[in-house]
Structure formats: structure tokens, C-alpha cells
């Protein structure tokens, strides 16, 4: 039995944005949803060809139909080139990009802790491959553990729902609130399965047939629901998700647009009175997370304000290589890609601009 996603579009439009339609309860005929607000992390398990990919299409589409603000990211280790599977409003990362982007998402998540930002949904395909790298496992662990506080939601896909597929991480296992399981092989009976013991997915034989277990299905008293997942093939995605996020349409941004006057004043006042600075100093001064502190350090290094230590010391020495007296006359070296200053000389000394003048222009 196939239940096309297109037949329930009207009902989905009335749902809260974070209520994700999964399919239809085969016993009652009622639709089954998971609530990412209450239970943000989900495992989707099943062997190839039984409905995992179609369900991801349903998840992405159901969110995009109701919101353009939620970030949607798809990680696919089987992709080895830049060819996109989904429309441009969904970010995709291939095997060469996954590690770097997961690390970036952890830093972003930490910087947004308890600030109630826009939700971010990460769909991570073939977890058994991604978690072969311990750094990737650690990143997924961090998101699974504290992502709720930064409005991060995980969908982890695997053919083998064993602990080994998740880097042997019990932390990931205990934070997978929702379980959606299509037909699985013998791994469903493995001693170290990540699924509940009453998930008997080796008895599911039809495509799209699945068991759904989620804390917010109270009517079934926690037992898995026998469902038929909605069907949406990839070639129909463009009908529902517009390609509205292309490189040519993206607005040009100043690389320093994240800077503020208060941030500059705080850090440069510190530099005026000290001979060295560290990332820890910046985090404390700006009350920020590590990713922003590292960004500021990079900004200072590029402009010659500080010098990278040769030893393993975490302190960066303040530079006087341009004969600047930072203790008496605070100055700032400014790159001028937009020619803000007319007739700008290209010599290093001419690029020294008084901080007060620089801040006035901002």
C-alpha cells in the first residue's frame, strides 16, 4: 500500500511547524506525527529500498511548506561531488565537507545556547560511515546532548541500528527520543541495538511499512505504532520546495559584518593595557563562545595587531612591527577592499587608520 504525501497537503498545512508527519496508523487510519519541539532527535533505521529516503523527502518538504526560516542541512558521506540532490534551500554536504561542517555546527550551537534561535534540522545519512571518524561522533554527541537548548534537531539514518553505527556512543543512543524503523535485518536483534526491545522490525516486509515510537504518542502508552510512511519521490520535490537560494541571488556581505563597535572597543581597550591576549581572554571579555573568540583572533592576526606564538603558549603577543605605540595611541590596521578611503596608498604605513575614525565610519 502506498500513501502519497500529496494527498495530505491540506492537513499538513494546519499543523504546527515542528510537527513532522510520518505516515498513517495502520490500525486506526489516523495520521502519525513526531513533535520536534518536545523530542528533537530521531533515529531512522531500515535496509535499502524500504522508505528511508522517501521519508526524508517528506520531512524536508513538510517543513519547507510551512517555514522558510528553519535551516535544513543534509549530510551524505556517499556523495563524492558537488551535485545536489535537494533544492537549493536545503544545504548539502558531501564526504569531503562533513567533518568541517559538523564542527562548525557545534560551534554555532554553543554560541546560541539558550538564546532561542531559529531551529536547525540536521539530517545525517549513513551514520555508520560518518561515525567511523571519532571527531564526527564527538560532534554528533555534542548536538545530541545539548542541541535542544540551541534549537538543534537531529535525524540520524542507518541501515544497521546498532551502537557501533553511532561510534559506540551510549550518549547518542540515550538522546534518540524518536525511533522510526523500516524493515531491518538481523542487526535488529543485536545485543547492542539502539532500538527499544519491542521494535520487531525484522517482521516488516512491505515497502513504507514502519514502526514509530515517540514520547509524544501517549495514546499508545509508549508502545510502537504500526504505520505506513508517506511516499514522496525525489523527482517531485521541486513542486513543493522552490529553488530560491542560488549563488547569484545571495547578497554580498562584508567579511567583517559580524564586528560591532562595542566588541572592538572592549578588545582594543584590553590590548592598550596588556602585552598579550589569548582566546580565553576574548571569551571572557566578550562573554562569547569559542568560535567567535577564534574568529576575533584570526581578525587580529590578519591585520598584524597580534603575533602567533612560536611555542605552545596560548598567549598572542601584541605586535609593534609597524612602530605602533598601542599603549598611547590606539590604532587599527584596516583592509580596504571597498576603497572607503580615497587615494589609499598601498604602503603598509598608509593603511594605519586611527581607531576613532574607523569606528565613526561604522
pLDDT along the chain (362 residues), means of 10: 84 86 92 92 92 94 89 89 75 91 94 88 95 95 95 94 90 92 71 68 84 70 83 86 50 53 74 81 79 78 75 73 45 42 38 48 49
Query: Which is it for strands 120-124 and 152-158: parallel, antiparallel or unpaired?
Result: parallel
pLDDT of residue 82: 58
Please give the Cα distance from 260 to 33 (Å, whole number). 43
pLDDT of residue 229: 96
Domain ranges of the chain: 3-239, 261-361
- Cα dihedral: 14, 16, 17, 21 (round 10): -70
Nearest to 75 by CA among 167, 176, 154, 162: 154
Residue 315 CB burial class (10 angstroms; 0-12, 13-18, ≥19): middle
Nearest to 355 by CA among 330, 328, 337, 322: 330
Q: What is the CATH number of domain 3-239?
A: 3.40.50.300
pLDDT of residue 314: 73
pLDDT of residue 232: 92
Q: Which residues contact 297 (CB under 8 A, 6 or more apart)?
A: 279, 282, 306, 316
In a 3-state reduction of DSSP, which class is residue 15? coil
261-361 fold: Arc Repressor Mutant, subunit A (1.10.10)
pLDDT of residue 15: 84
Q: Which residues pair with 193 in a beta bridge?
A: 162
Nearest to 127 by CA among 75, 49, 83, 181: 75
Nearest to 63 by CA among 90, 26, 84: 90
Please give the Cα distance from 43 to 218 (Å, whole number). 19
Q: Is 282 left (phi over 0), alpha (psi -120 to 50) or beta?
A: alpha
Helix (H) or strand (E) holding 93: strand 91-93
Cell of 184: 531491518
Amino acid at each position: 500500500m502506498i500513501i502519497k504525501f500529496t494527498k495530505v497537503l491540506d492537513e499538513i498545512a494546519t499543523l504546527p511547524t515542528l510537527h513532522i508527519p510520518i505516515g498513517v496508523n495502520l490500525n486506526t487510519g489516523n495520521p502519525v506525527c513526531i513533535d520536534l519541539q518536545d523530542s528533537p532527535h530521531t533515529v531512522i533505521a531500515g535496509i535499502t529500498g524500504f522508505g528511508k529516503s522517501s521519508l526524508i523527502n517528506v520531512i524536508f518538504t513538510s517543513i519547507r511548506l510551512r517555514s522558510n526560516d528553519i535551516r535544513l542541512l543534509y549530510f551524505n558521506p556517499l556523495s563524492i561531488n558537488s551535485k545536489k540532490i535537494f533544492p537549493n534551500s536545503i544545504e548539502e554536504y558531501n564526504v569531503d565537507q562533513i567533518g568541517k561542517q559538523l564542527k562548525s555546527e557545534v560551534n554555532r550551537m554553543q554560541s546560541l545556547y539558550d538564546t532561542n534561535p531559529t531551529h536547525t534540522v540536521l539530517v545525517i545519512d549513513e551514520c555508520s560511515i560518518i561515525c567511523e571518524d571519532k571527531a564526527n561522533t564527538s560532534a554528533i554527541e555534542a548536538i545530541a546532548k545539548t542541541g535542544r537548548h540551541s534549537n538543534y534537531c537531529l535525524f540520524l539514518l542507518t541501515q544497521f541500528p546498532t551502537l557501533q553505527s553511532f561510534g559506540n556512543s551510549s550518549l547518542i543512543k540515550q538522546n534518540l527520543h524518536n525511533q522510526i524503523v523500516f524493515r531491518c535485518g538481523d542487526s535488529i536483534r543485536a545485543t547492542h541495538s539502539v532500538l527499544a526491545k519491542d521494535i520487531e522490525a525484522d517482521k516488516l516486509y512491505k515497502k513504507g511499512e514502519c514502526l514509530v515510537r515517540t514520547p509524544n504518542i501517549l495514546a499508545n502508552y509508549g508502545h510502537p505504532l504500526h504505520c505506513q510512511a508517506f511516499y514522496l519521490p525525489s523527482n517531485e520535490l521541486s513542486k513543493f520546495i522552490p529553488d530560491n537560494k542560488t549563488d547569484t541571488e545571495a547578497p554580498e556581505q562584508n567579511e567583517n559584518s559580524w564586528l560591532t563597535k562595542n566588541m572592538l572597543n572592549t578588545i582594543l581597550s584590553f590590548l592598550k593595557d596588556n602585552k598579550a591576549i589569548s582566546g580565553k581572554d576574548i571569551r571572557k571579555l566578550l562573554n562569547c563562545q569559542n568560535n567567535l573568540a577564534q574568529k576575533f583572533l584570526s581578525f587580529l592576526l590578519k591585520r598584524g595587531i597580534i603575533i602567533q606564538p612560536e611555542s605552545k603558549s596560548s598567549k598572542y603577543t601584541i605586535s609593534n612591527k609597524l612602530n605602533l605605540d598601542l599603549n598611547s595611541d590606539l590604532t587599527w590596521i584596516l583592509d580596504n577592499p571597498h576603497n572607503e578611503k580615497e587615494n589609499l596608498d598601498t604602503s603598509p604605513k598608509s593603511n594605519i587608520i586611527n581607531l576613532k575614525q574607523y569606528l565613526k565610519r561604522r
